[in-house]
Amino acid sequence: MNSALFEPIRLAGLDLANRIVVSPMCQYSADDGCASDWHMTHLGMLANSGAGLVVVEATGVERHGRITHGCTGLYSDHNEAAMSRVIDHGRRIGTAKFAIQIAHAGRKGSALRPWQGGGPLPAMDDPWQTLAPSALPFGPNWHVPREIAIDEIARVRDSFVSAAERAVRVGFDAIEMHFAHGYLLHEFFSPVSNKRNDAYGGSLENRMRFLRETAQAVRAAVPGHIALGARITASDWLDGGVTIEDAVVLAKALKADGLDYLCVSSGGLTAEARNPNAPGYNADLAARIRAEADIPVRVVGLIVDPKQANEIIAQGKADMVALARAMLDNPHWGWLAADVLGAEVARPPQYQRAGPKLWAGRALQL
């Protein structure tokens, strides 16, 4: 079987052993933005998942840019030191390269952890005033954000730059800006959440302005050998929201701004938005962005089966696939995919005796 999934790929100065990426997944287990022992275990485990790249969860560029009190950040020296500790550990024991996703939650911040209900923080839990392009809440019973002022836009942009500079010092192989999932930069991009009448609202060009200014500023701060990308939305799945045509325009602009790749996702803008539930539902959207913007593309969204993932790459719909819950369910998903597709994948020597060449029981699991 053709194992396109296990072909190497190069992004800027980053060489990846295969096209499998562990998607950034919030763990809600940090201490004032500082990665914890949980992250040490979680990311250390995924460093040996068989994926070529592991992306650290959405990490706040400022304290009140996080989703919850438990989200990671890169806004302080303590954050930077804690993240360095975890990533150094992952590199020592694993084979994957590491990226980080830097983000500002916007109106979706000041929230409870999912296992606490996931809604807005109540008064007794130290909530904060959230920011958004317009004073429109994420959904019913959510706090009303404050419309961000022009000077604050510049401050948040500079916070992305500062977080990226910290990420460079930590030693990440790639840095990814979060422009999707209903967080602040996506809120500016979508006409559903952006009702401004200044230079940052109205036309598609204006709604892209904050995203492009941030991309340009971060690109200027990040050395060229470090792959720089962004996760973008290809559809809001809402009437009057972002369309694939809008996403193609944004992708072309971000390529011109110096980005090396894009991760294509969708949805998450409002509480009532609902994504499709078909396997690989973003793949055709990613294919169009890849073809029309001519930029390497990673796709995420209900990718579970190794043959399905391989087909997405083999058909040219995307250059990489990102898996989230499938990796939580099976932290050695890359090993499974290699067995199914007849490919080779790095395994730590301590676990090699569980591979197909040394253990007959492996075949019984497939």
CB 109 within 8 A of CB 103: no
Cα–Cα distance for residue pair 64/110, rounded to 1 Å:
8
Beta strands 14-16; 320-323: pairing state = unpaired
Tell me which of 28, 183, 261, 281 is the catalytic residue: 183
How many other CB atoms are there within 10 angstroms of residue 114's CB atom? Answer: 13
183 classed as catalytic: yes
Q: Please name which of 319, 315, 340, 343 lies closest in space to residue 330, comparing C-alpha atoms.
A: 340
Residues 205, 208, 209, 212, CA torsion sign: negative
Q: Please name which of 63, 74, 66, 70 lies closest in space to residue 38, comparing C-alpha atoms.
A: 70
DSSP 285-307: HHHHHHHHH-S-EEEESS---HH
CB 337 within 8 A of CB 331: no
DSSP 82-119: HHHHHHHHHHHH---EEEEEEE--GGG-SB--GGGTSS
Cα–Cα distance for residue pair 187/135, rounded to 1 Å:
11
Cα–Cα distance for residue pair 152/157, rounded to 1 Å:
8
CB 298 within 8 A of CB 21: yes
- Looking up tokens 């989230």, which residue turns up? 324
Residues 6+ positions from 361 with CB-CB distance below 8 Å: none
Residue 16, classed as helix, strand or coil, is strand
Cα–Cα distance for residue pair 354/361, rounded to 1 Å:
8
Catalytic residues: 183
